[in-house]
């Protein structure tokens, strides 16, 4: 009998198009040969082009899923995605606060790539004030970082400044993703107690990038579970995300294009 792989738990929404959310997380975990667990926060009727409806799972049931899994499996890392509301976050905190030794990657999912809101307004304060201080790493994109910081980001210098601000404000390492900035490269800035680190990959022009944030944070959590230090986990995740973008594909139905990452990429 072979030894079991490391176990990673994702607490996220379910994307019926399987491009983002816990489906993207599971594909990513499979790539890195870790065992993925899921706690579902919401069921979302969506594609890369449209968020049609969101059905929230009751907060107490979300917390029950997480508590059961943490009691039953040797979870080596946790990532959070779409948490939806303040009651969901408060219910989760009651469980997560009992496990401070498990690395926690927080992807502060607020807005879908379509522009649709995925987070109730009052949940922002719960993430900012209660969840982030528990995190090992927070992975905001540019719009999310602007909400969390109250700052405007227009350049790489701004990325560095705001990443440091978030590190100091919340006491957690911050990987500020620069994909929304123009330029030939996608540059992400990590601010952690050891200083600033830059991760750069050539930009791959695509008509859409549904699920990139979920995939990136899941890959970081997987590599933390595998024992990599934070900088190494981010570097491995960045390489993987670039490969999924390079090998992505497009479905065309009734004249409408739906672009999908290839999270099953092997390289």
pLDDT in tens, 147-175: 999 999 999 999 999 999 999 999 999 99
Q: Give residue-wise pLDDT tens across range 227-243.
A: 999 999 999 999 999 99
> Environment class of residue 132 by beta-carbon count within 10 Å: exposed (0-12), middle (13-18) or buried (19+)?
buried
Instruction: For residues 201 and 98, give the distance between their C-alpha atoms in angstroms, rounded to a whole number.
Output: 37
> Residue 118 has what pLDDT?
73
Mean pLDDT of 90-100: 97
Residue 253 structure tokens? 């139905």
Look at the block and give the residue holding tokens 């209660």: 130
- Band the pLDDT of 249: cuts 50, 70, 90: confident
Q: Which of 31-40, 83-92, 147-156, 240-249 has the lowest mean pLDDT?
A: 240-249
CA-to-CA distance for 120 and 244, rounded, in angstroms?
Answer: 30
Sequence ranges of the domains in the chain: 7-260
The CATH number of 7-260 is 3.40.1190.20
Query: Can you tell me the distance from the alpha carbon of 226 to that of 214, in angstroms, rounded to the nearest whole number?
Result: 18
């Amino acid at each position: 009998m072979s030894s079991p792989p490391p176990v990673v738990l994702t607490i996220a929404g379910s994307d019926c198009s399987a491009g983002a959310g816990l489906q993207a997380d599971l594909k990513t975990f499979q790539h890195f040969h870790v065992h993925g667990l899921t706690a579902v926060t919401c069921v979302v009727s969506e594609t890369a082009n449209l968020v049609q409806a969101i059905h929230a799972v009751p907060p107490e049931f979300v917390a029950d899923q997480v508590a059961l899994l943490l009691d039953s499996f040797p979870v080596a890392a946790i990532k959070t995605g779409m948490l939806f509301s303040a009651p969901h976050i408060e219910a989760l905190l009651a469980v997560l606060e009992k496990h401070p030794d498990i690395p926690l990657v927080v992807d502060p999912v607020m807005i879908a790539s379509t522009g649709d809101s995925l987070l109730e307004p009052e949940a922002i304060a719960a993430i900012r004030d209660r969840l982030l201080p528990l995190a090992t790493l927070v992975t905001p994109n540019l719009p999310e970082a602007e909400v969390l910081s109250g700052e405007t980001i227009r350049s790489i210098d701004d990325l560095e400044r705001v990443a440091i601000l978030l590190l100091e404000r919340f006491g957690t390492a911050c990987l500020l993703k620069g994909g929304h900035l123009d330029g030939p490269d996608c540059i992400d800035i990590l601010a952690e107690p050891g200083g600033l680190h830059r991760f750069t990959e050539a930009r791959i022009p695509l008509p859409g990038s549904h699920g990139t944030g979920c995939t990136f944070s899941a890959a970081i959590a997987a590599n933390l579970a595998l024992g990599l230090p934070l900088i190494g986990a981010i570097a491995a995740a960045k390489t993987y995300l670039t490969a999924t973008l390079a090998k992505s594909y497009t479905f065309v139905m009734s004249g409408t294009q739906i672009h999908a990452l290839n999270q099953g990429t092997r390289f």
